[in-house]
Each structure stands twice: as C-alpha cells, then as structure tokens.
Amino acid sequence: MPANRIHLVRHGEVYNPGGVLYGRLPNFHLSDTGKLMAQAAADLLKALNTPVRAIYCSPLIRTQESAKPIEQAFNLDAKLDEDLIEPHNVFEGRKLSVKAVALRPHWWWHFRNPAKPAWGESFKEIIARMNEAIFRAYESVEDGDVVLVTHQLPIWVMHLSTAGEKLMHDPRKRRCSLSSITSFEVHDGKLVEVSYIEPAAELIAIDKGAV
C-alpha cells in the first residue's frame, strides 16, 4: 500500500537582511536561526516515531538546507521535485508593502483581481502541481510516511483547497509558520488534513520574503 501520511514541512528562517520578496531568486540561505528551526522540525518528526520512508524538497537552496536535518534523522537522501518550488512572482527582489504599492501606480494592475492573482502563478496552478508532487510521493513508497519540504503559499493553498475554503486570502493571516509541519492522509483517493504542528514556535524569527 502507499504512504500512511504526507508531511508538508515549510523551510526555516531565511537570511534576508534587505527584507525583499525572495521568491525563486538564488542564494537565499537559511539564517542561523533557520537552521535551528529546521533541526526542530526534524527532531519532532523523529520524536513522534514517524516512519519516514522518503523525503522530497523544492530545488531552492532554503528548502534543501531545511531538508538536511530530516535526511540525517532518517538516513535518507532527499530528492528534488520542481513541483514543490515557490510560485513565481513579478515582485521578486523588491520590498513589498501597502505603502510601496500605493506609491507605484504602475504596480496596481497586478492587483486588479486578487481571486486570480496577476502578480504571479495562480492558486489553481499551484494546487495542480502540488497535487502531482504529493501523490507521486505518496505512491513512491509501500508503507510509512513521506516528507515534502516546500514553501508557505503552496502549503497554505493545499490547506484551503482540501478544507473547501476560498482560495483568495490575506497573506498576513496564513497559518503556516516557519518550519511548521502540515500533515495529510489520503482517504478514498482524496487528501485530508490531519494535523498542524509548529515545532520551532519557541524560536524568535523574522518571517519576511515569502510570496
């Protein structure tokens, strides 16, 4: 039979002193705190006696670094999956705020329809590729669990989709903290969310730069 449970793990804090939207830009590594957060996620999975059989991660460096402690905890090598990547965004490399947008009328066009984002990849496109990645991982093992290390928005829209909630949302209100673990099971061929844990909640981190 396939995997028992699928764990979507968000990466840890990123070293981003400029506070920019890093998106898919290269060379955004974990900060020292981010490494501790990634370790906390791995430690929790291990403490729960989670029978991890496979690990997959986004090709971006921050997710690869976040997967390292999990690889070490379960003596497995993570495999890269392009479908787990951060969504593309026209504002990559910029500081994005209400004030910044208000002062740049040429940006307003991108916000004309929040239900179907014109500033980057659509929610439905993200959900489609995440489903592909999740079910590939789910079917790649004969038992146990699989871990997918990815990004905030892909995890959050999977939560919204499986819960039957509206995809349009306020990014400031996402329940998907750094190094959090959102877990799913497959029931009758459909994804069902079964738990959400914040193993690094006690660590003080700066969560800026997510798409």
Rounded average pLDDT over 171-182: 94
Q: Is 210 part of any domain?
A: no
CATH of the domain at 176: 3.40.50.1240
Mean pLDDT of the chain: 90
With a cut of 90, say whether residue 92 has pLDDT above it. Answer: no
The whole-number pLDDT of residue 120 equals 72
Give the model confidence (pLDDT) of 136-148 as tens digits: 999 999 999 999 9
Instruction: State how far the Cα of 61 lies from the Cα of 78, in Å rounded to an integer.
Output: 13
With a cut of 50, say whether residue 156 has pLDDT above it. Answer: yes
Q: Is 204 part of any domain?
A: no
Q: pTM of the prediction? A: 0.91
Q: Is 209 part of any domain?
A: no
Q: If pLDDT is split at 50, 70 and 90, which confidence band does 96 have?
A: low
Q: Is 160 part of any domain?
A: yes
> Residue 207, CB half-sphere, CA atoms under 13 Å: how many?
22
The whole-number pLDDT of residue 102 equals 46
For the four alpha carbons of 170, 173, 177 and 180, in that order, the dihedral sign comes to negative
Q: Is 59 part of any domain?
A: yes
Rounded average pLDDT over 28-53: 96
Structurally, how many domains does the chain consist of?
A: 1
Q: Is 211 part of any domain?
A: no
Domain span holding position 105: 5-197
Q: Is 203 part of any domain?
A: no
140, 133 Cβ separation under 8 angstroms: no
Q: If pLDDT is split at 50, 70 and 90, which confidence band does 206 have?
A: confident
- Provide, rounded to the nearest whole percent, the portion of the chain with pLDDT above 90: 75
99, 74 Cβ separation under 8 angstroms: no
The whole-number pLDDT of residue 90 equals 72
Buried b (16+ CB within 10 A) or exposed e, 58-81: bebbbbbbbbbbbbebbeeebeeb
Give the model confidence (pLDDT) of 180-192 as tens digits: 999 999 999 999 9
Instruction: State how far the Cα of 132 lies from the Cα of 78, in Å rounded to an integer.
Output: 17
Rounded average pLDDT over 36-65: 97
Q: Is 208 part of any domain?
A: no
